[in-house]
Every structure is written in structure tokens, then in C-alpha cells.
Structure 1
Amino acid sequence: MRRNTYKEDEILEEPFDIKHLLRASGYIKKHAGKMALALIFSALGGAAALVSPMIVQKALDVAIPKGDETLLYKLVIAAALFYVCSVIFTTLRSRIMVNVSQDIIYQIRRDLFAHLQKLPFQYYDDRPHGKILVRVVNYVNSVSDMLSNGLINVVLEILNLIFIVIFMFAVDVKLSFVVLAGVPFLMIFMFWIKNKQRKAWQAVSNKNSNLNAYLQENIVGARITQIFAREDENAEIFKVLSSNCQKAWMKAVSYSTMVWPGIDTISVLVRAAIFMFALIVFSKGNESLGVIVAISSYASRFWQPIMNLGNIFNNFINNMAYLERIFEAMDEPVTVDDAPDAVEMKKMVGEVTFDHVSFSYEKGKEILHDVSFSVKPGESIALVGPTGAGKSTIVSLISRFYNVDSGRILIDGQDISKVTLHSLRSQMGIMLQDSFIFSGTIGDNIRYGKLDATEADIRKASRAVCAHDFIKVMPKGYNTEVKERGALLSQGQKQLLSFARTLLADPAILVLDEATSSIDVQTEKALQRGLDTMLEGRTSFIIAHRLSTVTKCDKIMYIDNGGITECGSHDELMARKGAYYHLFTAQMEGMEAV
């Protein structure tokens, strides 16, 4: 997907590519039978509606002049029956196509969402989330209408046009040619207006996409906006984006409002020509009133299919661009996926081995270089070092959020690139610094990684991480509803809930990435007692800048310059008086100074 920001328009004017339409046909084929039935109903409904002008002609030319009341009643009944048939067939067609359209929306959106779930973290870091949402919601809605109603309407409008011409010529050949004489003028007008109209509505889509991207970003960052008093500046940016939307909309509407007056003007001129030729040129005033009224009625209907085909053409061009964007997102490579011959990870014991591992996020900028180490089952490993040295990268690679450039990572002797992601990650507990809380109850959030957990299991995990005390005083305890991203909970409370969620999953390997950074010292001491119990028998990797929290770890690895520069217990590293010693003493002196 293109990596543009809310400041940049997406390029939606795409050349026609048949491969997108062929690929989309897979969603259409599943509903081919229903769509064929809808087309039949549409054709029958259209044909029934076109009989009415011929009935009116019969009434004006025969029944009324002759005073034949019986025939007139029959014609009225026939007109009513044809009208009812038209309504019934049109209604049936509409109901069928609503179901087809919604099924197509569901199928495309399901496939797109399923693919988005597999994409790596970096995909979401590089793109405005609002523009991803536009693809899943707006573009899918537009495309589904093209794939269902659009294709049927093309056939239907062509058939409708053919039927009108047939019925029209059946009434009067010469006057029919008068109607057709207006087609060149209509085509010139439609070509001019539709080209401008299409580009105008594409601009509307671009500006709405930009606005959506900025709005989503600001909703997520609302607190930061207020912290830095950026309300006025952000309001000005939003004002500009909204103004762009307004201008684009007004321009598009100005072209749209020109369509009907233009067509109506041509239609009026054609009807005037009908009367002129019928009454003066062709038969010197002897043409019957019924014929004139019937041809005039068909002339009025004649322009509608042509205009509809123009609208369908514009929508088709726009939606092909939307379809390309949808497939572009679906084709975004899943860089981390199960290997074709991947096997299930056996129940983990917890032995972890890095075998000459090198890794880089961007080509040419290596983060880890030829890193090797081994961790025994049940050992606790602290990763310390300067920011950006690669501590979080190491634990991300253990969870296989990224693929290594070279080397291997083994768990219990199994290469993790050869096992299924689900069987690997389901046996690991990962606690990140950013504690994400979903909307729902507190209990549901804790149970998120283990849906079969009982209430007793949830309470046990909560007590172990010191979360039970604040949960029990909530309005409904574990059934208290929390809002999106844990609004109304403190950062410390969110971290404790994330701890409970992680520990409830009963992982064999536990990763704590700055997990206690937002917890006060008193709670941390109580939490540490619970963690000591929960960490027992589990391999754990702990990233912490507060070094006082990792002094009891079995091993401390100092990460810097793309590798492990020091490794040992706290006492061993302090005795060496190397990088760890200087970092630890500097922190302690800083705390004493405070």
C-alpha cells in the first residue's frame, strides 16, 4: 500500500487493468445464479413498464374517439396489471441484489481483514491508520455495488435501451428517427460533463481519505494534543482539510447538477422536434394524437438509460481504482508466516538458543550482528543497555515477529522458523511497555489470551500481580466495563491488567519489556513477590532500564554495538567494573541524589 500521509492525495486515476476485474470475478461467480435471476426480473419489469405508452396510444386513437367504454376499461385494467407486474419484478430484483451486494461486501471485507491480521508490525507503523480504514469500509462498499448492481445495470440499461427503440419503432418509424437525431448532441454533452464529473468525485474521495487519516490520528493522540496545548494548531490543520473536502464536494456537485438540466434541455428540444415534424413536416398535421403522445413518452424514457450508462462508466472507472487499492492491501506480503512444511511446536520446556543471529529492520542498517547465546529452562535473563541497542529486537525475534537475516533461533532444539506461529506464540507470554486494553469488561481483558479461563483462574492471576485489590473496588468488580484503550484507568492499572492477562496464559517463556515502568515503587515490591512465584520454572526475558529490578536475575546481558558486550550475574558484572558497572552505579548515585 502506498505510504502517503494525510497531506498527500492518493492517485486514484488508474489505467484499466483487466487482471483486477478477473480477480474480482471470483466474488461474483458465487452469486451468478442469483444475479441471472435478478437480471431476468429486471428485464421483465422494464418490458412491462414500456407497454404503458402503447396502451395510452390505443386509448387516445381508438377507444376514446369511438366512445368504446368496454375497450377503455380493458385498457385501464391492462395498464394497471402491467404496472403491478413492473413493480413486483423490480422489487424482487432489488431484494435479490441487496442480498448479493451485502454478501460480496462481507466476503471482500472478511478476506481483507484476515490478511490485515497477518501483516507485520511495521506495516501499521508506516501507514496512516485512517487510510487503511478507508479501504476496509468505504472502498469495499463502493466496489461491492459495482460488482453486483453495476454489472447487471450495464446489461439492463442496454436491454432497456433496445426495448425502448423497438417499442418506439413499432409505434412510428419516422418519428423514431427524429428522436435518434438527438443522440449525437447528448453524447457530446455527456462525454464533456462525465469526464469532469469523474475527476471531481475522485478528488472528493482523496480529500475525504486525507481528512479521515488526520481525524483518526488526532483521536488516538487527543491526550498529547492537550498536553502540548496544540488544540489551535490542530484545529487549523483540520480546518484546511475540511475546507479542501468542502471545495472538492461543491465542485463535484456543481458538475452533477448540470447533468439533469443539460439532458432535460436536449429532451425538450427533441420533444419539440417530434411535434414539429409530426404536425407539419411528415403528415401536415394528420399524425394521430396517440402516436405523438406515445413517441413523446418513449423519447422521455430514451435518455435515461444513456445517462445511467454514463454514470455506470464513471463509477466503473472510480471503482477500478478502489479495487486496485483493496487488492494492493491484500497483496501486501506477509513477511512472517508459517513455512510450507511447518510443524506444531511441542510443549515448551524453555531452552532458548541464538545461533549466530544477524538482523536488520532496513537493508544496510544492521541492529544485531552474529549474536549467539544459550538460556537454560527456567533461567531469568535481564537485557540491559542503551536505547536502540537491540534489547526489544532480541525478544521480538524470539517471538518471531520478524525473520532473522541469518543464523537460527532454537527453542528446545527446534528452529522456530520451522514451527507454526500459533503453536509458538500461544506458549509465550509477552508483556509490552504499551499496555493495550480493549473495550469490554476487566474480566474479558484478562481472559483475552485464554478464553476458557474460569473466574477462579482470573482472580488467581490478578492476585498474583497485585491487580485484585483495585479491581474489587471497581463499580462491578471484574464485570466493570472499560472503554477503548483503557480510558479512565491509570497507566499503572493498565499494566497490572496486562500482567494478569499475560500470566493467565500460563506461558513457558515470559517476556517483560519495561513492564513495570508505570507502576509505583510500593506496588512494584508487592508485584515482585508475586512474580517471583509466577516466574519459578519459567524461562524469562526481562528488559528494564531501572536496574534495581533485575539484580536477582540469573544472567544479565549488556546489549550494545549490535551484540552482547557483557554477560553474567549482577555480582559478576559489578566485579568486572565494565559497562554494566558504570550504568548501575550512575543510576544508584542519581537515585541517592534525589
Structure 2
Amino acid sequence: MSQEQQGAGASGQPAGRPPGLRGHGPRHPGPGGPGGPGMSMPAEKAKDFKGTLKRLIRYLRPHKYQLAAVLIMAVASTVFSILAPDVMGQATTKLFEGLMGKMKGIPGAAVDFHGIWLIVMNLLALYVLSALFGYVQQYLMAGVAQKTVYDLRRDVNAKLNRLPLKYFDARTHGEILSRVTNDVDNISNTLQQSLTQLITSVLTIIGVIVMMLKISPLMTLIAVLTLPLSVVAITQVAKRSQKQFVRQQAELGQLNGHVEEMYTGHKIIKAFGREKTSLRQFDDINERLYTAGWKAQFISGVIMPIMSFIGNIGYVLVAVVGGILVTRGSIKIGDVQAFIQYARQFTMPITQTANIANIIQSTVASAERVFEILDEEEEVPESAQPKVLKEPRGDVAFNHVKFGYDPQHPLIEDMNIGVSQGQTIAIVGPTGAGKTTLINLLMRFYEVGDGAITVDGVNIAEMKRGDLRSMFGMVLQDTWLFNGTIRDNIAYGREGATEAEVVRAAKMAYADHFIRTLPDGYDTILNEEASNISQGQKQLLTIARAILADPAILILDEATSSVDTRTEVQIQKAMNELMKGRTSFVIAHRLSTIRDADLILVMNHGSVIEKGTHEQLLAQKGFYADLYNSQFTKGSFEPEAV
């Protein structure tokens, strides 16, 4: 975690924790795997395949010596594996010649069992050496793959800590998580498994062709002629099955989305009596998924029988031609046996290579998505000589501040605000007025376009973000609690907090009583969504966390909106005590809660249009007065004007 994240998190609610994901979880291949036997799903293609591949290779360069060793091990393992059928053929030839000699009554003819035994021992040695080199190859490649992905993950993690908040605001949490987890895992799996398999497959193809040509060019030609027939058959079947796999994945995505949506909105569905509609929608999607999945698996399942049929045709032709050549004395019977084994080995690495080529396309596309993160524009660099406020007072000033999320359309123009230590500043205004934007600028989640914001006379742009954010305590309307004990969640406010300080903060936030009524008290484990306590209780814990942080400046964004009226009064007392001597920024929608503020800023369209105390603003009978009085007006539901 970066220093600036620690600063934000230590004082209240940290930015960047995804509240929940929809439709961005791990991709499920569905029944039977993603592509059926002997094939894979259509690969997502990279926009710049060559450029991305070169960039990915740069991550492998520090491990070039290990990769060279992997290549040597792969060559050795493949060579020993390819030599084995030839050696086995020699044993068969010796056995055949000995038996034929005895049958023909040749004097002194006998089976050379000693010679056969030596050949068998050589064969065993070849298999052992092949396995040994294969093991070393996998061991070395596992180290290279994990170190490479470690470097990639480290760079991505460091980059995420340097990205501005606008990057995360513009993208869903699921999209970012998918790139950081799914795409990086895809790269890891390819480096770990597919890369070594590709090397071995290519070497096997070359080696097998060489050995087949050595035995008989004529039989090699017959074996190779069956290959185009296999390719044509597989291509025709694959075209039909790929459409169904694409349809299957689309239907699976719809089904996952529907199920997640229905479980998330379970209470609403029950309240409006839409269970039958939900089940009907599920059945419709499930039926379409079944049809697509059945067709995809059936069509792709035809591939293996077709390949076996064509392979058997080649096997018969090779056996017939080989038998003729043996009778003519052109080759030995052991060579025919070895050739048949080579012919069997020939098609498998070709199929593997085709599949791996598809996987590599998908991997490069994943790498491109990861590199897009690494190429994103970073936050404004920290000052080379940052200024530090050892004992911040809390004097805040906005001097001619200008800002816009889109530089072409400024939201705030020439804002000037002066806040003294200990003052409570309330920020009010309609939705979209710029209240939260003001807080984002104050904490440097966004950088000002022009002008300056100062704390105790120091420009916040000249301070480290972590140091700046450590001066703030935040309590937001959307609570954030992590999976852990209640004690740990409160103690998150300040590192090294003692048990007594945690309990004191909980008492000040009026949370101690309800915590002690829980079965495990402060040791109660909150689940991932903290759904085992009420929304109001969650808010009390976040307030206790902010109290424990003991910040110089407080930011309260509708901090009491989720609690009942009686608790709100109690929290308001605790807040008033907490805010003594501290500068406080309070974003409020219920204007009755900020009548005692020292200064109220009324915002609209990014500008402060009115400012003053509650009484002063009411006396002006302007925008604030209309906003305040509207709370007590009985109105009817009227549609918004179009």
C-alpha cells in the first residue's frame, strides 16, 4: 500500500476499496471446458501484436540464461524421446531376424536375447534421460515464469499507486481487477505451460520428420499427405463449433448476470412479487445456454473421431506400403514399427502447436491490457523537496482555484475561501453543485487546474500526498469496513492504537454499548460486506475510527444519515466535542444539522454563490433560504419538466 493510501485510510475511509462487483468476476468456461476436445475458444486478438509481444519479451530478458538452459533441456529431452522408437525398432528387427532364421533352419540361427537386452537397457536409459531433462526444463521454466509475472505484478501494483483518482472514477472496479488478476494469470499460465509445450512440440515435429525421412521418404510422403485432409476436416468442424462456443459464453454471461442481479435484489423481488418473472427469465436463458452448450460440445466432439479416422487411414497405408518394402528388402521390419510410432507422434504436436498459437494470441491480448495500465498518465509527481507540517493547526485557504474534470468545461472558476483553525465549515447545495469536488481537491485526489489551496499557509502541491492526507479524518455516507474484527476496524484509524484507546473512541462514538451486546464483543468478525451488523452500526464504527485518528481537519459527508434520530443527537454531541479546536468541513443535505456552523458555503454549478452564518443567509432570503424552507414545505409528486 502506498504512503498516500495509508494517509487516507488511517484517518477514516480509504479510497479505492471496491464496494462490490457486477459481471466482472472470473470467466467461467462452462461445461466441458472452453473449447471441447482438441481445440480452444476463439482468441481475443491484440491491437498491436508485434509491439506487445516485444514488450512482453523484454520482461523475459533478465532471465535469458535460464531460458537458454530451458531450450537446451527441451532439445535434449525431445531428442532422447525421438530416438526411443528407432532403438525399439532395432530390438524388433533382432527378434524377427532370429525367429525367421530358426524357422528357415539356418544353422546356428538363434534369437540374440543378450543383444535385445542391451537394446532394452539403452531404451530404458533414453526414457529416463528424456524424463530427467524434461523435469529440469519444467523446473527452470517455473522459476522464469513466476519471476517474470512477479516483476509484472510489482510494476502494475506500483503503477496503480501512482494513478490519479480520475482513472478509477472512469472505470469499473471489475474492469481494473480483471486486468490485474485474470490477465496477469493468463500470462502466467502461458509462460508456465504453453511456452515449454510450444518449444517441445516444434522440436518434436522437426525431429519426427527427420527420423521418418531417414527410414523411408516414400512412407513419409504418405504420412504427410493425410495432414491436409485432417486440417480441412478440423477447420470445417471448428467453424461451426466456434459459433456455438461464442454463443455459449454469451449466454453464460447473461445467466451469471441474471443470477447475481436476482440475489442482490432479493428483497425487492419479494416485495414486488416478481419471483415467477425472475424464474421465467432464468429458464429462458438457461434453455438457450443448454442448446448452445449441447451443440458446441457435440460438434467439437466430432473432431477427435474424424482425426482418428483419418489417422487410421494413414496407419493402414503406412502398414501396407511398409510391408511391401520389407518383402522387397528395402527396409527392415523394425523400421516399419518405428515409423508407425513416429506417424502416431506426428499429428499430436501439430494440433498442440495450433492450439498454443491461439493461446498466445489471447495471452498477448491480455498483456496489451496490462500494458495499457502501465502506460496510463500518472499523478503529478511529488515535490522534490516536500514541505512538512509537524503540528498542523488547520488554517485552510482556496486562492483563485479553478478546476474541471474536463479541462474544456471548468466546474469551478476563481474560488476563494478562507477557513481559520477550529472553524466548522458547512458546504450545502443541490446535487452536482460541486460539494464533493471541493473535498477531492482539498485532499489532492484531483489536482487544481489553476490557483492554489493552502494549509497553514503551505501550498498542498508542495507537500507529500501521504503527509497531507494524514492530517484529515473522513467519515463518509458510504461506510467502508473490511473483513476482520470490530477492534481491528476501529484501530485502522491509527497504527499502534492501544485497546484502551480503541474502547475510548468507541464510547465517544456511542458504539461501545452495541459492540458489547454482540456475542464476541470487540472480537466479533465482520464479514466481507459487514452485513452482519446494521447500516447505522457500521456508521458508528467509521466515526469511532475517525475519532481514534485524532486528525487536525475533519471531513464529514452526511456522517449521521444512516442512524436513528436519538443516536444522531448523541453522535452530534460526540462530534461537537471532537470538532473543538479542529477545522471541520461538513457536507450536509439536511440543513437543520448545520445551523451552528461558523460558516456556511452555498454552492451551485461549482461556484460559491452565498456564504455566511445560518441567520445571515436566512436574512438574505436568497438561494439558501429557499433551500432551507423547502425542507418544511408539503409538496406533491410532480414530474420533472422535459
Aligned to 1:73: 117
Alignment of 1:95-494 (within 5 A): 95-116=139-160, 119-120=163-164, 123-124=167-168, 126-189=170-233, 250=294, 253-254=297-298, 256-280=300-324, 284=328, 287-334=331-378, 336-339=379-382, 341=384, 343-347=386-390, 348-362=392-406, 366-494=410-538
Moved more, 303-312 or 350-359: 350-359
Q: Is residue 596 of structure 2 the alignment partner of residue 552 of structure 1? A: yes
Q: Percent identity?
A: 33
Give, in angstroms, the shift of residue 333 of structure 1. Answer: 3.5
**Rounded Cα–Cα distance in structure 2 between residues aligned with 1:23 and 1:207:** 35
Give, in angstroms, the shift of residue 269 of structure 1. Answer: 2.0
Aligned to 1:509: 553
Aligned to 1:29: 61
Give, in angstroms, the shift of residue 433 of structure 1. Answer: 0.5
Give, in angstroms, the shift of residue 255 of structure 1. Answer: 5.5
Residues 353, 409 of structure 1: 8 Å contact kept:
yes
**Which deviations, in whole Å up to 9, do the C-alpha atoms of 1:336-386 show, x marking residues without a partner?**
443464725423321111122233334665433322111012211011222
Give, in angstroms, the shift of residue 487 of structure 1. Answer: 0.5
Give, in angstroms, the shift of residue 228 of structure 1. Answer: 5.7
Give, in angstroms, the shift of residue 119 of structure 1. Answer: 4.6
Give, in angstroms, the shift of residue 586 of structure 1. Answer: 4.4
User: Which secondary structure state, in structure 1, belongs to the residue aligned with residue 431 of structure 2?
Assistant: coil
Give, in angstroms, the shift of residue 175 of structure 1. Answer: 2.6
**Rounded Cα–Cα distance in structure 2 between residues aligned with 1:134 and 1:561:** 36
**Which deviations, in whole Å up to 9, do the C-alpha atoms of 1:374-410 show, x marking residues without a partner?**
1012211011222222222212221122233333222
| Aligned residue among 77, 97, 113 for 1:45 | 77
| Aligned residue among 604, 620, 636 for 1:576 | 620
- Kindly tell me: are residues 188 and 129 of structure 1, through their superposed partners in 2, closer, same or farther at Cα, counting changes over 3 Å? same
- Kindly tell me: are residues 338 and 219 of structure 1, through their superposed partners in 2, closer, same or farther at Cα, counting changes over 3 Å? farther
**Which deviations, in whole Å up to 9, do the C-alpha atoms of 1:130-180 show, x marking residues without a partner?**
444433333322222223433333332221122222333333344333323
**Which deviations, in whole Å up to 9, do the C-alpha atoms of 1:291-346 show, x marking residues without a partner?**
21111111111112211111111112222222222323443434x44346472542
Q: Is residue 564 of structure 2 the alignment partner of residue 520 of structure 1? A: yes
- Kindly tell me: are residues 203 and 225 of structure 1, through their superposed partners in 2, closer, same or farther at Cα, counting changes over 3 Å? same
Moved more, 191-200 or 561-570: 191-200
- Kindly tell me: are residues 585 and 175 of structure 1, through their superposed partners in 2, closer, same or farther at Cα, counting changes over 3 Å? closer
**Rounded Cα–Cα distance in structure 2 between residues aligned with 1:324 and 1:194:** 27
| Aligned residue among 71, 87, 90 for 1:58 | 90
**Rounded Cα–Cα distance in structure 1 between residues aligned with 2:266 and 2:149:** 32
**Which deviations, in whole Å up to 9, do the C-alpha atoms of 1:202-228 show, x marking residues without a partner?**
666666666666666666666666566
**Rounded Cα–Cα distance in structure 2 between residues aligned with 1:519 and 1:319:** 49
Residues 427, 585 of structure 2: 8 Å contact kept:
yes
User: Which secondary structure state, in structure 2, belongs to the residue aligned with residue 389 of structure 1?
Assistant: coil
Moved more, 361-370 or 469-478: 361-370
- Return the letter of the residue paired with 1:262: I
**Rounded Cα–Cα distance in structure 2 between residues aligned with 1:408 and 1:389:** 20
TM-score (norm 1): 0.87
- Return the letter of the residue paired with 1:48: F
**Which deviations, in whole Å up to 9, do the C-alpha atoms of 1:465-516 show, x marking residues without a partner?**
1111111222222111011221121111111111111222222111000111
- Return the letter of the residue paired with 2:386: V
- Kindly tell me: are residues 197 and 77 of structure 1, through their superposed partners in 2, closer, same or farther at Cα, counting changes over 3 Å? farther
- Kindly tell me: are residues 76 and 281 of structure 1, through their superposed partners in 2, closer, same or farther at Cα, counting changes over 3 Å? closer
Residues 74, 199 of structure 2: 8 Å contact kept:
no
**Rounded Cα–Cα distance in structure 2 between residues aligned with 1:404 and 1:103:** 40
The total of aligned residue pairs comes to: 585
**Which deviations, in whole Å up to 9, do the C-alpha atoms of 1:30-86 show, x marking residues without a partner?**
443433333333322222222322222112211453211111222222222322333
More relative contact order, 1 or 2 (CA 8 Å, 6+ apart):
2
- Return the letter of the residue paired with 1:431: V
Moved more, 22-31 or 577-586: 577-586
Aligned to 2:8: none
**Rounded Cα–Cα distance in structure 2 between residues aligned with 1:236 and 1:344:** 63
- Return the letter of the residue paired with 1:161: I
**Rounded Cα–Cα distance in structure 1 between residues aligned with 2:172 and 2:219:** 59
Listed as ranges, the gaps of 5+ residues in structure 2 are 1-21, 28-41, 99-110, 635-642
Residues 80, 126 of structure 2: 8 Å contact kept:
yes
Aligned to 2:581: 537
Residues 353, 375 of structure 1: 8 Å contact kept:
yes
**Rounded Cα–Cα distance in structure 2 between residues aligned with 1:159 and 1:349:** 71
Moved more, 11-20 or 399-408: 11-20
Listed as ranges, the gaps of 5+ residues in structure 1 are none
User: Which secondary structure state, in structure 2, belongs to the residue aligned with residue 78 of structure 1?
Assistant: helix
**Rounded Cα–Cα distance in structure 2 between residues aligned with 1:422 and 1:564:** 28
Residues 215, 331 of structure 2: 8 Å contact kept:
no
- Return the letter of the residue paired with 2:353: L
Aligned to 2:137: 93
Residues 190, 310 of structure 1: 8 Å contact kept:
no
**Which deviations, in whole Å up to 9, do the C-alpha atoms of 1:395-449 show, x marking residues without a partner?**
2221122233333222222222333221211221111101122111111111224
Residues 339, 420 of structure 1: 8 Å contact kept:
yes
RMSD across aligned C-alpha pairs, in angstroms? 3.4
TM-score (norm 2): 0.81
User: Which secondary structure state, in structure 1, belongs to the residue aligned with residue 517 of structure 2?
Assistant: coil
Moved more, 114-123 or 531-540: 114-123
Aligned to 2:10: none
Give, in angstroms, the shift of residue 454 of structure 1. Answer: 1.7
**Rounded Cα–Cα distance in structure 2 between residues aligned with 1:329 and 1:203:** 30
Moved more, 79-88 or 580-589: 580-589
Residues 338, 420 of structure 1: 8 Å contact kept:
no
- Kindly tell me: are residues 28 and 286 of structure 1, through their superposed partners in 2, closer, same or farther at Cα, counting changes over 3 Å? closer
Residues 129, 216 of structure 1: 8 Å contact kept:
no
User: Which secondary structure state, in structure 2, belongs to the residue aligned with residue 472 of structure 1?
Assistant: helix
- Kindly tell me: are residues 398 and 93 of structure 1, through their superposed partners in 2, closer, same or farther at Cα, counting changes over 3 Å? same
Residues 278, 285 of structure 1: 8 Å contact kept:
no
Moved more, 255-264 or 385-394: 255-264
- Kindly tell me: are residues 18 and 255 of structure 1, through their superposed partners in 2, closer, same or farther at Cα, counting changes over 3 Å? farther
**Rounded Cα–Cα distance in structure 2 between residues aligned with 1:408 and 1:349:** 18
**Rounded Cα–Cα distance in structure 2 between residues aligned with 1:492 and 1:290:** 83
- Return the letter of the residue paired with 1:303: T
**Rounded Cα–Cα distance in structure 2 between residues aligned with 1:574 and 1:307:** 80
User: Which secondary structure state, in structure 2, belongs to the residue aligned with residue 356 of structure 1?
Assistant: strand
Moved more, 169-178 or 229-238: 229-238
- Kindly tell me: are residues 64 and 71 of structure 1, through their superposed partners in 2, closer, same or farther at Cα, counting changes over 3 Å? farther
**Rounded Cα–Cα distance in structure 1 between residues aligned with 2:260 and 2:386:** 40
Aligned to 2:13: none
